[in-house]
């Protein structure tokens, strides 16, 4: 038997053990997972907006609101920028030829890597704001403000930790994909 | 649901082979296939000629496969094989399975640009069709195919694959 025929036989021999599984059910499951994720993000944002919006509208703005509001005014748009601009594949992108898709994907990944840098910088700036605000509160303000300052500091540290962790994971993945796709074009 | 979607099911084996060419881990293969199916579902309205469904779905599978990055998943722990409890395949079937496994492991060693061309050729596409799918010239397809075949031949000789 010729080498090419052997390769063809071996290629055709690869079958899925679960070939009869309903494809529609799999796609719908994937869609549900994506919708659930997006719903969670929207719900969290709405809760944050409601908490601060109601406080402002009712006029009952306590120290915690004053200290945390600037933090969330920066944090929420930054988080949404990352979520919405992440280099996710849009369905139509993958229908073009491989070389077209590869160029598009490289541009998306470059933009995603820039956004990660922006997210890390913002998280560090928010921590700096939290440290300065907390120091001011401990030196100048009364007892009522100290609890709020501590909450702000904890939130800023948590936000920085989460951003650095997430950014490192995504950055490694996107860089590996970037190199793989770049080799595809270069070859 | 798009009216052509039920026809995609007929191409499931082709899609599965394409996915296997990019990923060796069974758990991650399933994930990648799911992603491919989702993108096909979303992009079916862009398909103009229903006769071109196979190249259309395979182009998506190869694009996603090429930019797929191996996720760090743990391989399932191996279960010891007991031939008194399991049916043992006849030698001819076992030999064919071993060759299939060798082929996909060998494909993983090829650079993406050679691998894609070879996989599409094994799927039965001609040079021009492959060139259109990848956005390269037919001559380039020939060159890449020759290199890929030579590498696999050398590998099979090294490993003593019949």
pLDDT band (50, 70, 90) for residue B70:
low
Please identify which residue in the block is written with the tokens 């598009």: A104
pLDDT bracket for residue B5 (50, 70, 90): confident
Cβ-Cβ contacts under 8 Å, A87 against chain B? none
Tokens 């994930």 — which residue?
B31
Q: Would the CB atoms of A16 and B16 count as touching at under 8 Å?
A: yes
Residue A71 has pLDDT above 50, yes or no: yes
Residues with Cβ < 8 Å from B80, sequence gap 6 or more? none
Give me the pLDDT at residue A88, please. Answer: 65
Whether B120 has a pLDDT exceeding 90, the answer reads yes
Considering Cα of B32, then B37, then B41, then B46, what sign does the dihedral take? positive
Q: What is the mean pLDDT of residues B134-139?
A: 91
Per-residue pLDDT at A100 exceeds 60 = yes
Is B17 within 8 Å of A11 when comparing Cβ atoms?
A: yes
Who wins on pLDDT, B146 or A14? B146
pLDDT value of position A15: 74
Percent above pLDDT 70 for chain B: 83
More confident residue, A59 or A101: A101
- What is the token pair recorded at B5? 């979607």
Q: What is the pLDDT of residue A91?
A: 65
> pLDDT band for position B75 (50/70/90)?
very low
pLDDT at B127: 94
Q: Is the pTM of this model over 0.95?
A: no
- What is the percent of chain B with per-residue pLDDT over 90, rounded to a whole number? 34
Q: Is the pLDDT of residue A80 over 90?
A: no
pLDDT band of A6, cuts 50, 70, 90: confident
pLDDT of residue B131: 93
Residues of B in contact with A19 (CB under 8 A): 12-13, 16
- Per-residue pLDDT, averaged over A16-31, amounts to 70
pLDDT at B159 over 80: no
Mutate to test the interface with A, among B63, B102, B114 (most CBs of A within 10 A): B63
Which residues lie closer than 8 Å to A138 by C-beta, 6 or more apart? A146, A149
User: What is the C-alpha separation between B141 and B129, in angstroms, rounded?
Assistant: 10
Q: Do A123 and A71 contact (CB within 8 A), yes or no?
A: no
> Does residue B31 sit at the A interface (CB-CB below 8 Å)?
no
Our CA-based measurement puts residue A79 at a distance from the nearest CA of chain B, in whole angstroms, of: 24
A47: closest CA among A76, A80, A74? A76
Cβ-contact A75, A126 below 8 angstroms: yes
The residue-averaged pLDDT of B126-155 equals: 93
Spatial distance between the Cα atoms of B61 and B51, rounded to a whole number of angstroms: 18
Helices (H), chain A: 3-12, 23-58, 63-85, 98-140, 143-186
């Amino acid at each position: 038997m010729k080498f090419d025929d052997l390769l063809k036989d071996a290629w055709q021999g690869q079958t899925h053990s679960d070939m009869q599984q309903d494809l529609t059910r799999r796609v719908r499951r994937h869609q549900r997972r994506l919708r659930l994720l997006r719903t969670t993000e929207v719900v969290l944002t709405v809760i944050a907006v409601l908490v601060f919006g109601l406080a402002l509208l009712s006029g009952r703005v306590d120290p915690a609101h004053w200290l945390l509001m600037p933090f969330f005014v920066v944090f929420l748009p930054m988080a949404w920028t990352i979520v919405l601009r992440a280099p996710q594949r849009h369905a139509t992108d993958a229908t073009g030829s491989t070389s077209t898709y590869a160029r598009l994907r490289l541009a998306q990944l470059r933009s995603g890597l820039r956004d990660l840098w922006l997210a890390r910088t913002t998280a560090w700036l928010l921590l700096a704001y939290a440290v300065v605000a907390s120091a001011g509160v401990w030196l100048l303000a009364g007892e009522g403000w100290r609890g709020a300052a501590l909450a702000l500091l904890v939130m800023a540290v948590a936000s920085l930790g989460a951003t650095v962790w997430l950014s490192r994971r995504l950055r490694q993945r996107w860089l590996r994909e970037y190199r793989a796709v770049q080799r595809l074009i270069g070859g | 649901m798009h009216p052509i979607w039920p026809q995609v099911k007929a191409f499931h084996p082709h899609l599965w082979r394409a996915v296997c060419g990019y990923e060796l881990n069974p758990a991650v293969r399933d994930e990648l296939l799911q992603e491919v199916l989702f993108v096909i579902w979303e992009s079916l309205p862009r398909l103009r000629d229903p006769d071109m469904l196979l190249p259309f779905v395979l182009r998506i599978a190869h694009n996603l496969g090429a930019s797929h990055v191996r996720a760090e998943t743990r391989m399932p722990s191996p279960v010891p094989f007991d031939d008194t409890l399991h049916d043992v395949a006849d030698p001819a079937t076992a030999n064919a399975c071993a060759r299939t496994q060798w082929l996909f492991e060998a494909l993983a060693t090829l650079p993406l640009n050679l691998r894609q061309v070879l996989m599409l050729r094994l799927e039965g596409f001609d040079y021009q069709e492959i060139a259109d799918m990848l956005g390269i010239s037919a001559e380039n397809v020939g060159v890449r195919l020759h290199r890929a075949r030579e590498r696999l031949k050398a590998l099979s000789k090294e490993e003593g694959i019949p």
